[in-house]
Amino acid sequence: MSRAVHLVRPAWVDDPARPSGGNVYDRRVAAALGAVEHTSTATVPDGALVLVDGLCATPELVAESQRLRIVVLVHMPRGEPWEGQVLRAAAGVVVTSRWSRDRLLVRDGLDPDRVFVAEPGVDPAEVVPGSAEGTTLLTVGAVTATKGYDVLAAALERLGDLAWTCRGVGSTAVEPDFAARLGDTVRLTGPMTRAELDATYAEADLLVLASRAETYGMVVTEALARGIPVLATDVGGVRESLDGGGLLVPPDDPDALAAALRAWLTSPTRRAALRMVARGRRVRLAGWDRTVARLSAALDVALDPALDAALEAAR
């Protein structure tokens, strides 16, 4: 079986109106692996090694696993009733955090020897000094309920006695009705180009992530790569991406989020301490080379002919 890699990824992976961490991940690994790209397994030749973005997974992958050596890349467990069967039939599963791996092992009864973690990498960046007042807040992600924009807005409304600004960078087209109900507490900018986002990070004092669910949190490491402190909700794999580089609060709790923001805005000592821990985490961040190495190792294991009997039993 050839070691040439095929990648099945969403058709919108390059759509500037639909930026996402998953799209960035797919683009980076496709380039590094020299992958042949598809939007469906139907165009992948028989016997090929194929990495399938989990967003492209369907129940038909169980049958497709008889002609292809399939590795599923799970950016976010979808919870579909057929998902476990597809993952058990795959030659390998790659996830982006230890949290995801643990969840899938328990939920779907997967073979732990065929589930691999390849955390997203991050590009080096210049340190952002931040302002003395710390009033420029930033959140990055599609404007959806999952990203907790409503929780962030509710927390900020409790801080009307303080000076601050908060910019929200992300598509408003995913859940337009939700976005329309948010009001103007968070200034929504829509998606940005890479250069625009870099410039926005350069002006930020604090990244705030109020998500209800995250498998890892690539924006967390993007901020930390610049030495920007992070205040995030303790969900999914966020604790792994943060790794001591900021603060965690419970999800869906605007009071807790508001209290943490108030402490940041009113205490220069607090701001200095959080900038220090963010910069400490910055020097421990790994690049995309590690991501690709771990994913490549998973693909090598998936090619092992010794898997054939186990895969046949799982179908």
- Are 64 and 200 part of one and the same domain? no
Distance CA 21, CA 147 (A): 13
Residue 130 lies in a domain: no
Residue 27: CATH number of its domain: 3.40.50.2000
Q: Which residue has the higher pLDDT, 183 or 306?
A: 183
Is 0.85 surpassed by the pTM of this model? Answer: yes
Residue 45 lies in a domain: yes
DSSP 315: -
Q: Which residue has the higher pLDDT, 313 or 184?
A: 184
Q: Express each pLDDT in 62-83 by its tens digit.
A: 999 999 999 999 999 998 999 9
Enclosing domain of residue 203: 136-282
| Distance, CA of 149 to CA of 183 (rounded, Å) | 11
Whether residue 52 is found in the same domain as residue 88: yes
- Please indicate, yes or no, if residue 81 is contained in any of the structural domains: yes
State residue 312's pLDDT score: 61
Q: How confident is the model at residue 62, as a pLDDT?
A: 96
Confidence of residue 1 (pLDDT cuts 50, 70, 90): very low
When divided into structural domains, the chain yields a total of: 2
Residues 107 and 182 in one domain: no
Specify whether 165 is located in the same domain as 102. Answer: no
The verdict on residue 126 lying in a domain is: no
- Residue 62 is assigned to a structural domain of this protein: yes
Confidence check: pLDDT of 303 > 90: no
Task: Examine the pLDDT at 309 and tell me if it is beyond 70.
Answer: no
Per-residue pLDDT tens over the stretch 7-63: 999 999 988 888 888 999 999 999 999 999 999 999 999 999 999 999 999 999 999
128: in domain: no
% of the chain exceeding 90 in pLDDT: 91
**Does residue 313 carry a pLDDT above 90?**
no
Q: Based on the fold, state whether residues 201 and 161 are members of the same structural domain.
A: yes
